[in-house]
Amino acid sequence: MTIQIVPQNQNVELHLSDGRILSGPRGTQVGEFLRAVKDDFGAPIVAAIINNEIHELTYPVERESDCTPVTMDRADGARIYRRSLIFLLEIAFAELFPKAKLTIDHSVSSGGFYCQVTEREALTHNELDMLKTRMKKIVEDDQVFERKQIPIQEAIQYFEKLGYTDKVRLFSHRQKDYLTLYILNGRMDYLHGYMVPSTGYLRWFDLNPIEGGFTLQFPRRHAPTHLEPMGDYPKLLSTFRQYGNWLTRLDIDNVGSMNDAIVAGRADEIIMVSEALHEQNVADIAQQIAYKNSRIILIAGPSSSGKTTTSRRLAIQLLARGISPYPLELDNYFIDRARTPLGEDGSPDFEVLEALDLNRLALDIEKLLNGERVQLPRYNFKTGMSETGDVIQLKEGQPLILEGIHGMNPRLIPDRWSGAAFRVYVSALTQLNLDRHNRVSTTDTRLIRRMVRDARERGYSATQTISRWESVRRGEKRHIFPYQENADVMFNSALVYELAALKQLAEPLLRQVQHRSPEYIEARRLLAFLEWFLPLDASLIPANSIVREFLGGSSLKDFKIWRG
């Protein structure tokens, strides 16, 4: 065998995950390589994973590499598309309304972001049509998003001149001495994450007027080139507005001002006021339940929304009003595992409503609320069989409290008792954004909560939690989010300070994710996100806080309503 030194090959190979190999000139952008296979995917390609690192399509391929296209039906691809769409909106808005300010506030369930306009009246229908027309023209022109890295102080000076104090505050706490900005039509901005190469990719969007603002609509992952009909979400919008009012009371409206407050020694004030607002909200919900004399209290929400702590704090507030709800555990109504419906992977799907014995549940609720003695079931998770549980009888006027993912589904309880039920939807509806154009995902907040709790209570690694998250999210979209507007009240369990507290436990977990694992890209993304938060002393957080459910040290962990 002879080993020789040979001239570098002018071509380089990209090895796709399906076994195909693409060859082209060294230094060619990965997007050019992927043009050869773009029609083989069910969704547009917006980025690429090169040797387990995510890159924009403008990334030059200099050596032989493994490559997986990132399409719009993947989580990373959807984020890239939406982020780029925000920049398109921002540029068109600045051209048409230079004296006004645009804020990308929060997401809406049907695929969109709620946007607010300040320093002028809300946009009229005609003005919104003008804005949409201008955006479409920029898309038609297929203008390039130019990427530029500049010194952090230069970036701060640029945004100071624009009057963007939120960005100035955010960047003043940055540990790195540079910032990557994007440029379109001579205007620069910071977008937290990767972008598509040019505006021509952004063909699917719409602008819809909504009370107090408008919605920037985009495709959802399951239909990446189609827009779904916009639904009405009055309760969700109202809950977000309430949280916005809370932020105003705290004088904190973005992560930069939160960091300023921590540096100024206001952490204890922020925590105490935030917790007081939470407790006041829980007390208001308890008062509504007492006033309506509700016989059934249903609590539901997505994973890591803080349902357990919320339900126990609510129970305490009810007890203070002389009401002792009996906790009926829905998990005990699982049908035998052998009869459980199967999911797409062929394993039992415990998240569908049909996994519960609805007939037995309806009968037991009927008897209990009529004052009869009832033999409850108990589900044995080891054997997968339903067994005999406790025999109970409610006292006169004693309500039932049921916590579970199907609490907002109208099929859960008998129609006869539907009017006697009070439904509480719990979710961490984060509204503290990085700045006016870079929102913080409610999903990211819940994932970080779950990761910290999984590590402490179950010994799971961040890799394990991240690997399960997609399945968790799929179940939420099917069984929880479609019914959230059925709630009588929505309780926002987000706390303005929580990511600053969770950061110190989450970062070490994320750094342990191995480079070769599929979860590495997500871990890197979350680490980059957490860099923006200054740490907060977790010892200041009270023992009954929702954050304690995830950090540990909750005084409510073993709390149980007396069943005597």
pLDDT for 294-349, tens place per residue? 999 999 999 999 998 999 999 999 999 999 999 888 889 999 989 999 887 788 88
Looking up tokens 């957080």 gives: 541
Same domain, 299 and 447: yes
Same domain, 113 and 173: yes
Same domain, 126 and 267: no
User: What is the structure's pLDDT at 23?
Assistant: 95
Same domain, 319 and 182: no
User: What is the structure's pLDDT at 87?
Assistant: 98
* CATH classification of the domain holding 96: 3.30.980.10
State the average pLDDT over residues 34-53. Answer: 96
Same domain, 279 and 190: no
Q: Of 217, 251, 286, which marks where a domain is finished?
A: 217
Cα 156 to Cα 28, 72, 256: the distances in Å are: 34, 33, 13
Strand order in the sheet with 421-427: 326-327, 400-403, 296-300, 421-427, 489-492
pLDDT 10s digits, 363-420: 999 999 999 999 999 999 889 999 999 899 999 889 999 988 899 999 999 888 888 8
Q: Which residues of 17-51 are buried (b: 16+ CB within 10 A; e: fewer)?
A: eeeeebebeeebbbbebbeebeeeeebbbbbbbbe
* Residue 316 in domain: yes
pLDDT 10s digits, 96-127: 999 999 999 888 877 899 999 999 999 999 99
* CATH classification of the domain holding 547: 3.40.50
* Residue 513 in domain: yes
DSSP, collapsed to helix, strand or coil, labels residue 435 as strand
8-state DSSP, 92: H
Same domain, 182 and 193: yes
173 close to 256: Cβ distance less than 8 angstroms: yes
Is the pLDDT assigned to residue 228 strictly greater than 90? no
For 375, the token pair is 């033999």
Is the pLDDT assigned to residue 564 strictly greater than 60? no
For 174, the token pair is 């940055």
Looking up tokens 């603002």 gives: 213
For 152, the token pair is 């952090």
8-state DSSP, 337: G
166 close to 254: Cβ distance less than 8 angstroms: yes
288 close to 422: Cβ distance less than 8 angstroms: yes
60 close to 29: Cβ distance less than 8 angstroms: yes
Q: Which of 222-236, 304-318, 495-509 has the lowest mean pLDDT?
A: 222-236
* Residue 227 in domain: no
User: What is the structure's pLDDT at 241?
Assistant: 76
> Cα–Cα distance between 479 and 425 in angstroms, integer?
13
User: What is the structure's pLDDT at 412?
Assistant: 93
**Domains in the chain, number:** 4
Same domain, 432 and 357: no
Same domain, 62 and 119: no
Percent of the chain at pLDDT > 70 equals 99
* Residue 6 in domain: no
pLDDT 10s digits, 461-485: 999 999 999 988 988 988 999 999 9
Same domain, 376 and 421: no
Residue 426: strand pairing partners: 491
Describe the crossing of helices 152-162 and 165-172 by its angle, rounded to 10 degrees: 160
Residue 402: strand pairing partners: 298
Q: Of 182, 217, 252, which marks where a domain is finished?
A: 217
Looking up tokens 């008998």 gives: 414
State the average pLDDT over residues 432-458. Answer: 93
pLDDT 10s digits, 177-214: 999 999 999 999 999 999 999 999 999 999 999 877 89
* CATH classification of the domain holding 42: 3.10.20.30
Per the prediction, the chain carries an average pLDDT of 92
For residue 195, how many other CB atoms are within 10 A of its CB?
23
User: What is the structure's pLDDT at 563?
Assistant: 54
Contacts of 345 (CB under 8 A, 6+ apart): none
Same domain, 387 and 406: no
Residue 54: strand pairing partners: 49
* Residue 560 in domain: no
Cα 24 to Cα 197, 296, 383: the distances in Å are: 20, 66, 57
Regarding pTM above 0.85, the answer is: yes
Same domain, 249 and 347: no
DSSP, collapsed to helix, strand or coil, labels residue 29 as strand
What is the residue range of 161's domain? Answer: 77-217
* Residue 141 in domain: yes
* Residue 557 in domain: no
> Cα–Cα distance between 214 and 176 in angstroms, integer?
35
> Cα–Cα distance between 34 and 298 in angstroms, integer?
50
Q: Of 380, 398, 416, which marks where a domain is finished?
A: 398
State the average pLDDT over residues 531-560. Answer: 94
User: What is the structure's pLDDT at 349?
Assistant: 86
Q: From the DSSP assignment, how many helices (H) and strands (E) are in the chain?
A: 15, 19
323 close to 504: Cβ distance less than 8 angstroms: no
Amino acid identity, position 348: P
For 309, the token pair is 């702590």
User: What is the structure's pLDDT at 562?
Assistant: 61
State the average pLDDT over residues 426-452. Answer: 91
Cα 128 to Cα 93, 208, 227: the distances in Å are: 10, 8, 18
Same domain, 156 and 280: no
Query: For the chain, what is the radius of gyration of the CA atoms?
Result: 26
Residue 16: strand pairing partners: 67
DSSP-H helix ranges across 490-551: 498-511, 520-530, 548-551
pLDDT 10s digits, 259-281: 999 999 999 999 999 999 999 99
User: What is the structure's pLDDT at 79?
Assistant: 96
Q: Where are the beta strands (DSSP E) in 324-380?
A: 326-327, 374-380
The DSSP code sequence of 456-516 is: III---HHHHHHHHHHHHHHHHHHTGGGGGG-SEEEE---TTHHHHHHHHHHHHHHTS-TT
* Residue 173 in domain: yes
